[in-house]
């Protein structure tokens, strides 16, 4: 079976973010025509698309020179990439005002796995993004959990610099851990001490 979207007609590929594209059932020509009405309609569809950041990232990595992607024309994408110093993740994050996307990219760029932990490798102890300084623990939390933390972030393992998903907790996760410990103690699953 083939399906048409702004990304062309495709056959036999494995499932990915494109399956959730808001333009799957739209006439692809509006993303290519270049006339004002079509461009506005394409932008409107992109605005509500749940995979906008993946699409915009792919437009850069695939060097798409034709279509409106992520609500941005080819010229707009070029300008944004220039303004972002050539860093795709920054251009995407700026275009979509998506700080989580950018912090996740920073996290992926500056971590290595080590003995079951994930270690922050950048010498900086905080990184400023759009005027806000994020500590290593906060960047780690966003990168590991895909959302902004609630309250402060604490490390629950004893490995310095670890930013693994299981090793960082924000307020809701701390509360969930506390409840789990109480439950386990009540049910004799662990020693009360
Ligand atoms: S961002 Fe726009 S072009 Fe990209 S998948 Fe979504 S609707 Fe289609
Ligand atoms: Zn750890």
What CA–CA distance (Å, rounded) separates 174 from 171? 5
Q: Is the CB of 77 under 6 A from ligand 1?
A: no
Probe ligand 1: pick from 39, 52, 71, 73, max atoms within 8 Å of CB? 52
For 155, the 3-state DSSP assignment is strand
- The predicted-structure confidence for 96-109, as pLDDT tens digits, reads as follows 888 888 899 899 99
For 119, the 3-state DSSP assignment is strand
Reported as a pLDDT band with limits 50, 70 and 90, residue 1 is very low
- The predicted-structure confidence for 81-135, as pLDDT tens digits, reads as follows 999 999 998 899 888 888 888 899 899 999 999 998 999 999 998 898 878 999 9
Atom 1 of ligand 1, nearest CA residue: 70
Reported as a pLDDT band with limits 50, 70 and 90, residue 5 is low
Q: Is the CB of 58 under 6 A from ligand 1?
A: no
The answer to whether 6 touches 67, Cβ cutoff 8 Å, is yes
Q: Where are the domains of the chain?
A: 1-97, 98-193
């Amino acid at each position: 079976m083939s399906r048409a979207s702004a990304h062309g007609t495709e056959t036999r590929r494995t499932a990915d973010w494109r399956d959730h594209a808001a333009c799957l059932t739209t006439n692809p020509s509006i993303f290519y025509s270049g006339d004002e009405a079509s461009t506005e309609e394409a932008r409107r569809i992109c605005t509500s698309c749940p995979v906008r950041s993946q699409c915009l990232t792919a437009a850069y990595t695939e060097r798409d020179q034709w279509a409106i992607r992520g609500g941005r024309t080819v010229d707009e994408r070029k300008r944004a990439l220039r303004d972002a110093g050539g860093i795709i993740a920054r251009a995407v994050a700026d275009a979509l005002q998506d700080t989580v996307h950018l912090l996740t990219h920073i996290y992926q760029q500056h971590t290595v796995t080590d003995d079951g932990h994930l270690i922050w490798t950048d010498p900086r102890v905080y990184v400023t993004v759009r005027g806000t300084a994020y500590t290593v623990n906060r960047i780690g939390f966003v990168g590991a959990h895909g959302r902004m933390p609630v309250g402060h972030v604490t490390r629950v393992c004893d490995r310095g610099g670890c930013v693994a998903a299981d090793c960082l907790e924000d307020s809701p996760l701390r509360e969930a851990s506390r409840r789990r410990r109480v439950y386990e103690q009540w049910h004799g699953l662990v020693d009360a001490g």
